[in-house]
Structures are given as C-alpha cells and as structure tokens.
Amino acid sequence: MGSIALNAAVLVAIAESLASAQSIPPLLQRALQRLPGLNVLGAPVEPADLDALKEANYWPPWSQLDLDGDGRMDVVAVVVQGTGPTQTYGVVAIHAKEP
C-alpha cells in the first residue's frame, strides 16, 4: 500500500461526527484483521489532549453511520500505517453489506 493522502477537511468532517468513546465496533475490528499494517489512530499521549478531543466530540477516531442508505450501520475510521517518520494517515469506510 502506498502513501495515503489525507485531506484535512476529511478529518474534520469525520471528527465532527464522532460519538462518545466506546470499544472498537466489531465491523471495524473484522476489517482491520483483513488489512495488515493498518491500525486505528491511537490516543494522544497526554491525558489533557485526549480530554480535549472528547470534549470537542473528536474522539474516538471512528464514526458509525448509514453511508449507503441500506439501513445498516457502516463505519468510517481514521487509520495509520507504519511508525515514526514514515507513518502515514488515512480514512477507511467499511460497509456492513457486501456488494
């Protein structure tokens, strides 16, 4: 997988729709098992930073919504690949229903 281009506006839009903190949705967990090397964006190191994200409804780094109008909840998540200076960021959308 190459570099993941990420538009700041996409991150803001997703972050604005995030619900309160909860465990990773099963649909997202199953998708990540099939996408080796991708992980959900981790929490900031500083607790105050995490608290600020939660207060602004920017945490957790996923949102559950019906993207395709089929009545089933899909998942959109901020993901990372790699570590350190080579780490890249992206967004994945997982549909609950297969085409």
The pLDDT of residue 1: 45
99 within a domain of the structure (yes/no): no
Q: How far apart are CA 77 and CA 93, in angstroms?
A: 7
Closest listed residue to residue 94, CA positions, set 27, 36, 37: 27
pLDDT at 7: 56
For residue 3, being part of any structural domain is answered with no
Residue stretches of the chain with pLDDT short of 70: 1-22, 99
Q: Please indicate, yes or no, if residue 51 is contained in any of the structural domains.
A: yes
Q: Model pTM?
A: 0.70
Number of folded domains in the chain?
1
Residue 32 lies in a domain: yes
83 within domain boundaries: yes
What pLDDT is attached to residue 24?
A: 92
pLDDT in the model for residue 86: 92
Q: Which domain holds residue 58?
A: 8-94
